[in-house]
Chain A
Amino acid sequence: MPEQPSGSAIAIREVSKVFGSGSDAVTALAQVDIDIRANEFFTLLGPSGCGKTTLLRLIAGFDYPTTGEIRLYGDDIAQLPPYRRPINTVFQNYALFPHMTVAQNIGFGLEMLGRPRAEIAARIDEMLRLVRMEELKNRRTSQISGGQQQRVALARALAPQPKVLLLDEPLSALDYKLRKEMQLELKRLQHETGITFIFVTHDQEEALTMSDRIAVMSKGRVLQIGTAHDIYDKPAERFVANFIGETNLLDAEVTGVDAATATVRVKGTTLQAGLPEGFRPTGKATVVIRPEHAELEAGGADRGTLGGLGGVITNVVFFGTDTHYYIALDGGGEFMVRRQNSRGAAGFASGDRVGLRIDPGAARVLRD
């Protein structure tokens, strides 16, 4: 196996997790490899049941992997119990101790580490300042709001200055507005503390806005790792393209391949499409085009200049900042185009005949 790259905080190597045994065995993780860099905001993104929470629990130590290694700055920690790992967790339901005050919760980890009282007290105050909760220090955790509980959970997990902070869908219980606020707050905290964050979510928008890098997971496997831009603009697989953002998937015929692009024919039109790294397609393939990477042209009679794709608008849905146009393509299939609503721009209506102009470099071939 490749050595751990220098600067990576967590290295996950060939990790599998099987629950149950015999015919009841369920493979929650299959041969997962991930490197998470120090000081990175790293997100595990996927639908429920994809294995992201299982992976987080293995890193925290609540479960042991069936195979593989989990390295923390080079040391294999996969067999250590959670209380011997310098890693702390923010739980989905916060898991604040109901019989302790806010301050007692925050100080718990340091107390268990046997730190002097004065240091603990100072650190509790520092943490309360960090999450802006000074005035609620002596409240019971049952007497504070959900958003406040969230902050206490963060403060409690950050207080012992862990090397890595794990966050298990921590924002899912909050309402929309508070969630937006906490997203910024988390980014700020990560920036200020310089701690590596591993964040688990099923919310693609949350993942795109917050993360330095994202691992997209499905059915116990990691499908793609990359920056938000990489994942959105260059999805490598159908699942990734579908799960993140809205997508148009078109059947295509590969007619030629060079270093990084392929020439494909889609419904009689020739397009240049980008390729996933190290992928050489032949024959039939699927091409993905994001809805905002196509422009509508009135008429659509002159197919040659318009890239050849055209059709009839079947539905127009207004979204405030933009409008979605659903087009029944000539020769079958549906295509959706998203247009910014700017003043004075020409509108289209249902039943209009339109041509599609695909932005150069927007089309990509998928690996599947």
Chain B
Amino acid sequence: MTAPPPASPRERQADRSAARRNRWLTGPAVTIVALFGIVPLLIVLVYSFLAPAPYGGVQWKFSTDAYLNFLFQRDIFSDALQFSPAFLLIYLRSFVFAVITTLICLALGFPTAYFMATRPPEQRNWWVLLITIPFWSNLLVRTLAIMFIIRDEGLINMALMGLGLIDKPITMLYTNFAIVLGLFYSFLPFMVLPLYSSLEKLDFRLVEAAHDLYATRRQVLWRIVIPMSAPGIVAGCLLVFIPALGAYVTPLILGGGTHLMIGDLIAQQFGSGRNWPLGSAQALILMAAVLVALWVYVRNAAKGGKHG
């Protein structure tokens, strides 16, 4: 067969002018995010290799102390590096909290999303709205609402004491329990919504086909529904895990400064800690963890794409 003819001048001109127009249209948004969103991240990267200034900010002097300080502490007297797991433990704790939160959100969010997806369409819209409202409501206020309830003199303790079940309040605020509860409460809609949108697209004739082939309800759930909604499950887990790992407001209010998570740790370095390079390094380590999670997701999505 002969080679196809090259594009005509008119074809090329049409393509080029469309591309030029589209670049101009996209320009302002990209410029704003690049200049005020990406450049600051690069500055953080630079800061993490500088030395701290005494009253906050940085000294323009190359140093890897920030990264060393993440794992080691310099002995005041001998100047020797000593292994100090304080920061690492906070990272580990944050990781564990984020994983637990994700699992609880999945355990409660999946049945909820499935239930929503099997309602008649009219009801579905209302359910989605009901889940969406907390999603877009003020996180600080919602976290304060939790605080009011679980405080020593909060509603739960008052009620239990009023009923004579306990004599003195159960301490819930400023505990690990409070933080995980707060994280769950904050991010549950982040799990339900992507799960719902993936379950809503599920072809329920497959469920009928499975029943026809002698599967029980539970077998249908595990063998058909869950595998087919895997992309939604992964997306939901990621949408809970990432913000939970970097949570700032929740531990700030419900952890009371004693049960730190990564978010508060970073903020501290930029506040009372006055060690911007250390905070920058900690932020980049958090970013790295998030990128790993995203990478796993993208790889999974690419694999899933091949199946269909």
Quick check: do A and B touch in the complex, using CB within 8 A?
A: yes
**Interface residue ranges, A against B (CB under 8 Å):** 16, 18, 21, 25, 27, 64-67, 78-79
Whether the Cβ atoms of B14 and A66 lie closer than 8 Å is no
CB neighbours of B14 from chain A (8 A)? 64
CB neighbours of A25 from chain B (8 A)? 4
Q: Can you list 25 A-B contacts with CB-CB less than 8 angstroms, sorted by A residue number? A: A16-B4, A16-B5, A18-B4, A18-B5, A18-B7, A21-B6, A21-B7, A25-B4, A27-B4, A64-B8, A64-B10, A64-B11, A64-B14, A65-B8, A65-B11, A66-B4, A66-B5, A66-B6, A66-B7, A66-B8, A66-B11, A67-B5, A67-B8, A78-B10, A79-B10
**Interface residue ranges, B against A (CB under 8 Å):** 4-8, 10-11, 14
Q: How far is the CB of A346 from chain B (nearest CB, A)?
A: 49
Q: How far is the CB of A169 from chain B (nearest CB, A)?
A: 25
Distance, CA A21 to CA B12, complexed state (A): 11
Distance, CA A67 to CA B7, complexed state (A): 8
Distance, CA A18 to CA B8, complexed state (A): 10
Given A64-B8, A78-B10: 12 more A-B contacts, CB < 8 Å: A18-B7, A21-B6, A25-B4, A27-B4, A64-B11, A64-B14, A66-B4, A66-B5, A66-B8, A66-B11, A67-B5, A67-B8
Q: How far is the CB of A130 from chain B (nearest CB, A)?
A: 35
Distance, CA A78 to CA B8, complexed state (A): 11
5 A-B pairs with least C-beta separation = A18-B4, A64-B10, A25-B4, A27-B4, A79-B10
Distance, CA A27 to CA B6, complexed state (A): 11
Q: How far is the CB of A266 from chain B (nearest CB, A)?
A: 33
Distance, CA A215 to CA B11, complexed state (A): 26
CB neighbours of B5 from chain A (8 A)? 16, 18, 66-67
Q: How far is the CB of A24 from chain B (nearest CB, A)?
A: 10
Q: How far is the CB of B15 from chain A (nearest CB, A)?
A: 10
Q: How far is the CB of B158 from chain A (nearest CB, A)?
A: 55
Nearest residue in B to A16 (C-beta to C-beta)?
B5
CB neighbours of A27 from chain B (8 A)? 4
Q: How far is the CB of B6 from chain A (nearest CB, A)?
A: 8
Q: How far is the CB of B96 from chain A (nearest CB, A)?
A: 49
CB neighbours of A16 from chain B (8 A)? 4-5
Distance, CA A357 to CA B193, complexed state (A): 71
CB neighbours of A64 from chain B (8 A)? 8, 10-11, 14
Distance, CA A25 to CA B6, complexed state (A): 10
Q: How far is the CB of A96 from chain B (nearest CB, A)?
A: 25
Distance, CA A25 to CA B1, complexed state (A): 13
Distance, CA A145 to CA B28, complexed state (A): 43
Distance, CA A65 to CA B8, complexed state (A): 7
CB neighbours of B7 from chain A (8 A)? 18, 21, 66
CB neighbours of B8 from chain A (8 A)? 64-67
CB neighbours of A65 from chain B (8 A)? 8, 11
Distance, CA A65 to CA B4, complexed state (A): 12
Q: How far is the CB of A83 from chain B (nearest CB, A)?
A: 14
Distance, CA A25 to CA B11, complexed state (A): 14
Q: How far is the CB of A219 from chain B (nearest CB, A)?
A: 11
Nearest residue in B to A25 (C-beta to C-beta)?
B4
Q: How far is the CB of B1 from chain A (nearest CB, A)?
A: 8
Distance, CA A12 to CA B7, complexed state (A): 18
Distance, CA A66 to CA B14, complexed state (A): 12
Distance, CA A79 to CA B10, complexed state (A): 7
CB neighbours of B6 from chain A (8 A)? 21, 66
Q: How far is the CB of B98 from chain A (nearest CB, A)?
A: 43
Distance, CA A18 to CA B4, complexed state (A): 7
Distance, CA A64 to CA B4, complexed state (A): 15
Q: How far is the CB of B233 from chain A (nearest CB, A)?
A: 35
CB neighbours of A21 from chain B (8 A)? 6-7
Distance, CA A81 to CA B39, complexed state (A): 42
Nearest residue in B to A18 (C-beta to C-beta)?
B4
Nearest residue in A to B15 (C-beta to C-beta)?
A64
Q: How far is the CB of B13 from chain A (nearest CB, A)?
A: 9
Nearest residue in B to A78 (C-beta to C-beta)?
B10
Q: How far is the CB of B215 from chain A (nearest CB, A)?
A: 37
Q: How far is the CB of A150 from chain B (nearest CB, A)?
A: 28
CB neighbours of A18 from chain B (8 A)? 4-5, 7
Distance, CA A78 to CA B9, complexed state (A): 12
CB neighbours of A67 from chain B (8 A)? 5, 8
Q: How far is the CB of B19 from chain A (nearest CB, A)?
A: 14
CB neighbours of A78 from chain B (8 A)? 10
Distance, CA A21 to CA B7, complexed state (A): 8
Distance, CA A337 to CA B62, complexed state (A): 93
Q: How far is the CB of B7 from chain A (nearest CB, A)?
A: 6
Distance, CA A66 to CA B4, complexed state (A): 9
Distance, CA A67 to CA B6, complexed state (A): 9
Distance, CA A25 to CA B3, complexed state (A): 9
CB neighbours of B10 from chain A (8 A)? 64, 78-79
CB neighbours of A79 from chain B (8 A)? 10
Q: How far is the CB of A58 from chain B (nearest CB, A)?
A: 11
Distance, CA A355 to CA B14, complexed state (A): 64
Distance, CA A67 to CA B4, complexed state (A): 10
Distance, CA A21 to CA B5, complexed state (A): 9
Distance, CA A149 to CA B143, complexed state (A): 53
Distance, CA A79 to CA B12, complexed state (A): 12
Distance, CA A358 to CA B4, complexed state (A): 45
Distance, CA A25 to CA B4, complexed state (A): 7
Q: How far is the CB of B68 from chain A (nearest CB, A)?
A: 51
Nearest residue in A to B12 (C-beta to C-beta)?
A64
Distance, CA A79 to CA B5, complexed state (A): 17
Distance, CA A27 to CA B5, complexed state (A): 9
Distance, CA A72 to CA B8, complexed state (A): 20
